[in-house]
Chain A
Amino acid sequence: MAKTYDYLFKLLLIGDSAVGKTCILFRFSEDAFNSTFISTIGIDFKIRTIELDGKKIKLQIWDTAGQERFRTITTAYYRGAMGIMLVYDITNEKSFDNIRTWIRNIEEHASKDVEKMMLGNKCDLTDRRQVSKDRGEQLAIEHGIKFMETSAKASINVEEAFFTLARDIKSKMDRKIDSSGQVSGKQGGGYQLKNENSQKKSFWKSCTLL
């Protein structure tokens, strides 16, 4: 069976309820926007293939429910994620404050070397802004992660954010391949990343390189 892609990256969107995770994903996968708020129930995903440095990368992006009652379902998905988008709403102070909680969640459930990125969504609503961009930057620097302000509605930075995260994941992976001294997989054979964490193996397996 011929593979239609070079990499498969699993990304996860987390953040408080109603910060716009589904909208960001909808914008990225369909390039559309829907203003009615329909809360996500449980978990959903979308797949979009992008091209980076001549490589086809499939991004399977998991969209989680922000509501507390779905927490048990959603945390199950942290493990396999290679990149996590932390989303808050710049018009909602609380959602920003909760970023710290979400980061703790990541530390608890996700694998150690997961790529993270922080997004301040709804940046088009300038007149309702509660969280300044500088505070966002500040927090991101504290945790050593990248930060961007986005707007799913106005289509600002959504594409950039996902590409940035994908590029970071890719370069980290390329570095690992280099450091482990393997140039490329044999023909017809899969190449399997060696990880410190063996229980993560099953998730990484699919990130094979032809």
Chain B
Amino acid sequence: MAEVTPNADENPWKKLNVAIQDADTLRQEAVEAHTEHLITEIETLEGPLATTLRAVYDGEGVDYFMEKLDARIKGHDHEIERMCNYHYQGFIDSIRELQQVSGDATKLKGEIQGLNRELKFSCDPLLSKGDELVKYRKIQKNVTLAIESLSLCLPVLEMYGKLQEQMKCKRYYPALKTLEQLEHTYLPRVLNHWFSQTMAEAIPRLRERIKDASMVELKDFLESIRKHSAKIGEVAMRHAAEQNNMDPSIAKKRVKTRRAPPPPNPFTGEVEDVAPSPPTNNSDKEEELSAQDLIDFSPVYRCLHIYSLLGDKEKFESYYRSQRWKQAWLSLQPPPNMHESLDLFKKYFHDIIGFFVVEDHILHTTQGLVTRSHMDELWEKTVEKLSATLRITWEKQMESFQEKKTNNNQVAENNNLEEMEIEEVTTGSDSPQFTFTLSSHLPHNKSCKLASLMLEVKKLIVLFCHTLKGYGFSVGRLLELLLEMRDRYSVILSDQWIDVFTDIFTEDNYTPILCDKPEDYVIICSQFPYTDKELDKSEYPRQFPFSQFVPSIYVQVKEYINACLKFSADLHLSHTEIDDMIRKSANQLLTKTLGACLSKLIKKPSLSLLQLIQISINMNYLEMSCEYLEEYISSLTGAEKDSVHIARLHGSSMFKDARSEAEQQIYQQLNLKIDEFLDLASYDWTISDSKGQASSYLMDLVVFLKSIFMSFTNLPVFHTSCSKYVEKVAKTACMSACQHIASRLMALMLDNEVKLLSMGAFHQFNLDVMQCEQFAASAPIPDSNDGTLQMAFTDLRQLLDLFINWDWSVYLADYGKQQSRYLRVPRHIAVSLLEKLNNGDKKKNNLFASLKKNERDKKRLIETVLKQLKVLENGAA
């Protein structure tokens, strides 16, 4: 409004009117422009008109606007009318054309429908043909596919069939190969088939089956080698025997049928004495088959192949080894009664050899199934076990031997128990018959059997060693065992010879051998080295100085030496070793065995004096024979006679000892007889007067002694060449008898039981002693009357003289002097007897109350003497 005010100041109303007029025109123009603008906006604007309309309504020029707008609409209607007029003809033309097109279209539609129908009709067969074609094409494709599959599967199935076939035929190794192919080549090709799955599953099972089956075969094989190994061992042993020049029959087991003579069995023909006939050769050949030919080893190889193929070689190896070791161990277990029979020994050794022969074969034919070191290890164990077993067996043998021996002593008759066996044994080997010829009927048969069994077993062991040495095993320890066995052998032999000697002693009659015929004489001379030129010239009957047991013992000692020698055969010992061993054994036999037997014989109470004398004579001759024994040993062993005599025979000294023992026994026996007589003595020590003659027991004794010594020396009981020796023995015996009688008589008188003595008793006793003195003086042994025998009775004589002569003054006076008549009467004996005499008198005196002067004097004297004697005692003290 400010603009307007300033205008009013200057010419307000004129200016105003002009301004108003200008303003109105300006406003008019603006409204018109604005309306124009809005209408254009409405026409061009496509969106909502609200804002425009608002702008319209907000302004004042609505009416104007309306007018303008109507004007505009009228302009536009005009335009439209003009346009329509302009385009109307074209429109009509177009309609007409459209009508024409519509007719044409209907026509065309009909045509097309017809055509369509036609086409449909003609296409139907084609379509069905096409479908068929598709179907056939599908079938064709399937057939091709099937053929392809089948051609793939058929070989697989064929293989499988083959496999089954092989399994059936137990050809496990090819079966395994087939299986391999099947698994690795064929089955992958048919993997998508269901049966391949089944097959694939079946393969491990089949493998197991093959394994099991081959294992079964192996087990059969193992069983069969166990069965055959004894046979193999036997054959191997026989070969070894032939190679070592030993008797092959050692190895052979006795065939039972051999005992039945006819008909000749082809298997035993060769062992019979008949010359080998053609059929036996056949059997020979059969027997000569090598050990390996007896057994089919293929199962082992097969099994080994199969297992190594299956990658289980180690398992198989260890199985095989452990099984074989088990077998070996089984073989090494001796049968419980092995010690009784050689056959069992043989079987035992055969078994072991068989085992090693088989192992050796396996070692050489397979690679690594058995190794040398493994074998050696087995051998080591075997030797150990074998040694132990043999030792135990010896123990058992000894035990049963001792047992049987005691049994035999009780029942001498049951010796035919196993005689059959023994005979068989002897026929088989060279000739240990010597033991049987002498004593087969005697109870100690058993020990013979044992010794010969040991000998046979030793041969077996030697052969066993040879055989296995041939297979490369070291047998040193077994040979050592043999040496040990040898010691036992000699022990058993010695035991056996105890019986031999005892029998010889029982059978002898202890009288000099008397030969009526030259034949008998020659026999004895051949048995025993005894030369006597006089005897050679003398008439028959000829008498040897010794009794039968001398040649018998000599022969038996030689036999023993032979038996010992037998054991050292084949042991590869040197001459010196053998010589040494035999001398040792012989010494053992002489000093221990024979010595003990002789000692036992001599102690036998039933022997008579004369038998004892004969025994001591015999000892002289046996002693002399010792040097011949030495020669005999040297000749056997080949050791030089003059070589170092380390082991001389101790026989001589033993026989000397035995002789002196026999002599002692003679004296003792005689003393025992004397004792028996003296036991009969019955003295009445209080007898008032003697009976006037000697006691009867003493007379008997003297007569007995006389006849004994007469038989000793005066009768041709002993050989004349021994008379010197017998005389010597008889002299000593006589001396010892006299001394014994004297001491016994003295003891009778001094007996403490005797309390009282009478002079009558002294006289009676004196008579008896006189008998003895007479006997001593009578020279019971010719040429021996030198007074020595009587000296035995000196003590008694002096004592009796002292009492009977009542010589007390002399006794007391000379007491202690060398020349005293009563030197041998000891004071205490004199005292004791005097006291007894005094007591006897006292009793008598009391009884009769005798007051006789003589008696009183005597009594006084006794008391004086007693006093004196006691003085002597004190003086001596």
**A42 and B696 contacting across the interface, CB-CB below 8 Å:** no
Q: Could you say which of A37, A60, A73 contacts B680, with CB atoms under 8 Å apart? A: A60
Q: Do B606 and A42 touch across chains, with their CB atoms under 8 A apart?
A: no
Chain A: minimal CB distance from B705 (Å): 11
State whether A206 touches B511 (Cβ < 8 A).
no
B715: chain A residues within 8 A (beta carbon): 41-42, 69-70
CB contacts (< 8 Å) of A47 on chain B: these are 676, 679-680
A34 touching B606 by the CB < 8 A rule? yes
Contacts A41-B715, A204-B696, A206-B697 aside, 19 further interface pairs with beta carbons under 8 A come to A1-B682, A1-B748, A1-B754, A30-B606, A32-B606, A37-B509, A38-B608, A41-B608, A42-B710, A43-B704, A43-B708, A45-B673, A45-B704, A70-B711, A190-B682, A202-B696, A205-B691, A205-B695, A206-B680
> Cβ of B717 < 8 Å from any Cβ of A?
yes
A73 to B696, CA, bound (A): 18
Q: Which residues, 679 to 730 on B, are CB-close (under 8 Å) to A? A: 679-686, 691, 693-697, 699-700, 703-704, 707-708, 710-711, 715, 717
The contact of B507 among A2, A36, A188, by CB within 8 Å, is A36
Residue of B nearest to A188 (CB): B686
Q: Is the CB of A44 within 8 A of B680?
A: no
* Interface membership of chain A positions 22-61, coded 1 if the CB is closer than 8 angstroms to chain B and 0 otherwise: 0000100010101011111111110100000000001010
Q: Is the CB of A8 within 8 A of B680?
A: yes
How far, in whole Å, are A77 and B707 apart by their CA atoms in the complex?
Answer: 10
Task: Give the nearest-CB partner of A76 in chain B.
Answer: B703
- A-B contact count, CB below 8 Å? 85
Is A38 in contact with B753, judged by CB distance below 8 angstroms? no
A selection of 29 A-B contacts at a CB cut-off of 8 Å is A1-B682, A1-B683, A1-B685, A1-B748, A1-B751, A1-B753, A2-B753, A39-B511, A41-B711, A42-B707, A42-B708, A42-B710, A42-B711, A42-B715, A43-B708, A44-B608, A47-B680, A69-B715, A70-B715, A73-B711, A76-B707, A80-B700, A188-B684, A188-B686, A189-B684, A202-B696, A202-B699, A203-B696, A208-B682
Least distance between A79 CB and chain B CB atoms (Å): 10
Cβ distance A204 to chain B, nearest Cβ, rounded Å: 8
Chain B contacts for A30, CB-based, 8 A: 606
A105-B77 Cα distance, complex, nearest whole Å? 220
Specify which chain A residues have a CB less than 8 angstroms from the CB of B606 in the assembled complex: 26, 30, 32, 34
Known: A1-B683, A202-B696, A206-B697. A41 touches B751 (CB 8 A): no
B510 CB contacts on chain A under 8 angstroms? 38
Residue of A1, A76, A80 contacting most chain B CB atoms (<10 Å)? A1
A77 to chain B, nearest CB (A): 8
Residues of A within 8 A of B684 (CB): 188-190
- 9 cross-chain pairs, A with B, having the tightest CB-CB distances, nearest first: A42-B711, A73-B707, A41-B610, A202-B696, A206-B696, A205-B696, A38-B509, A3-B682, A42-B707
B729 to chain A, nearest CB (A): 15
Contact of A43 among B506, B682, B707, B751 (CB under 8 A): B707
Interface: B421 (CB within 8 A): no
Count contacts on B: residues with CB < 8 A to the other chain. 40
Within 8 A of A (CB), among B734-766: 748, 751, 753-754
Does chain B have a CB within 8 A of A4? yes
Interface residues of A in 165-210 (CB under 8 A from B): 188-190, 202-206, 208
C-alpha gap A179/B148 in the complex (Å):
150
What residues of chain B lie closer than 8 Å to A205, measured between beta carbons?
691, 695-696
Q: Which B residue's beta carbon lies closest to that of A201?
A: B693
**Whole-angstrom CA separation of A26 from B604 in the bound complex:** 13
Q: Is the CB of A36 within 8 A of B509?
A: yes
- Neighbouring B residues of A26 by C-beta, 8 Å: 606
Closest to B611 in A: A38
A41 to B754, CA, bound (A): 39
- Interchain CA distance A34-B748 in the complex, whole Å: 37
- Residue-wise, chain B 663-678 has the 8 Å CB interface mask toward A (1 for contact) of 0000000000100100
**Closest beta carbon of chain A to B701's beta carbon, Å:** 10
Would you call A202 and B693 a contact (CB within 8 A)?
yes
Q: A202-B699, A206-B696 are in contact. Are A41 and B682 (CB under 8 A)?
A: no
- Once bound together, how far apart are the Cα atoms of A45 and B679, in whole Å? 14
Question: CA A204 – CA B506 in complex, angstroms?
Answer: 40
B686 surroundings in chain A (CB, below 8 A): 188
**Please, how many angstroms separate the alpha-carbon atoms of A113 and B424 in the complex?**
67
Min C-beta distance of A41 to chain B, whole Å: 5
Output the least CB separation between B608 and chain A (Å): 6
Q: Within 8 Å CB of B610, what residues of A?
A: 41-42
Residues on B with C-beta less than 8 A from A77 are 703
Chain B proximity mask over A54-88: 1 for CB below 8 Å, otherwise 0: 00001010000000011001001100100000000
Interface status of B508 (Cβ within 8 A of chain A): yes
Q: How distant is B84 from chain A, measured CB to nearest CB, in Å?
A: 188
Residues of A within 8 A of B681 (CB): 1
Whose C-beta in chain B lies nearest to the C-beta of A208? Answer: B682
Partner of B682, one of A42, A76, A206: A206
Complexed CA–CA distance, A128 and B612 (Å): 33
Specify the chain A residue showing the minimal Cβ separation from B510. Answer: A38
A20 to B67, CA, bound (A): 206
Give the contacts of B151-209 with A (CB-CB under 8 A): none
Residues of B with C-beta under 8 A to A42: 610, 707-708, 710-711, 715
Residue of A nearest to B716 (CB): A69
CB distance from B761 to the nearest CB of A (A): 11
Let me know if B509 and A58 touch, CB within 8 A.
Answer: no
CB distance from A8 to the nearest CB of B (A): 6
A38 to B704, CA, bound (A): 20
Chain A nearest CB: distance from B665 CB in Å? 16
A190 to B708, CA, bound (A): 31
Residues of A within 8 A of B703 (CB): 76-77
